[in-house]
Structure 1
Amino acid sequence: MIMAKVRAFFENFWNTILTKHQEGIYNTICLGVILALPLLVVLTLLFICCHCCWSKAARSGRQPERNQKKKRKKKKAEEDLWISAQPKLLHLEKRPSLPV
């Protein structure tokens, strides 16, 4: 019973494709694009998942190097936190005046 319903679904689906193809090339192209979108989404998700898994495995072997990089970044970030008392005045002086 379930197999008959599945078979009927795919037969109706194929009949719809053939009908749209016979109606014109525009319908065929649109149908192709619409049917390709889910496949593109699945392939993209598969690529992202594989990329995350492979990069996670690669990162686990290089843990000490990563900690050293973090320490260096923290030192640079602490040096960049200094803010002058009048930052806007310095920027305004550098701008050329516009004729009125």
Structure 2
Amino acid sequence: MPYVLRQEQTGEIAACIQKNNYNIDYYGVKQWDDEEEAEAQRDTFLNDLGHEHLGGWLVVKLDEHRVKVCNVKLKNDPTRVLTMTPDGALNVHTRQG
């Protein structure tokens, strides 16, 4: 089951430009297969994305279908930010600035 990063205060799910199986760039939710790997890479990954405040990012488990829904909501658009409420509702807004 995939693991993703969720910001505790804002609910943001970490996303970035990645390569798919066909070596094509896409914008989607960053996922790890292993919780320990996600924990170990969290700070470096977030720092590489330009996040200044690394605290409050939690490793959370999502099923594969849910990750796919997240990516559909992002629409391969880096200006979109995906958030997940504590009860699991997904919301999207456009990044300002």
Q: TM-score, normalised by structure 1?
A: 0.20
Greater share of strand: 2
- Please tell me whether Structure 1 or Structure 2 has the larger radius of gyration of its CA atoms: 1
Greater share of helix: 1
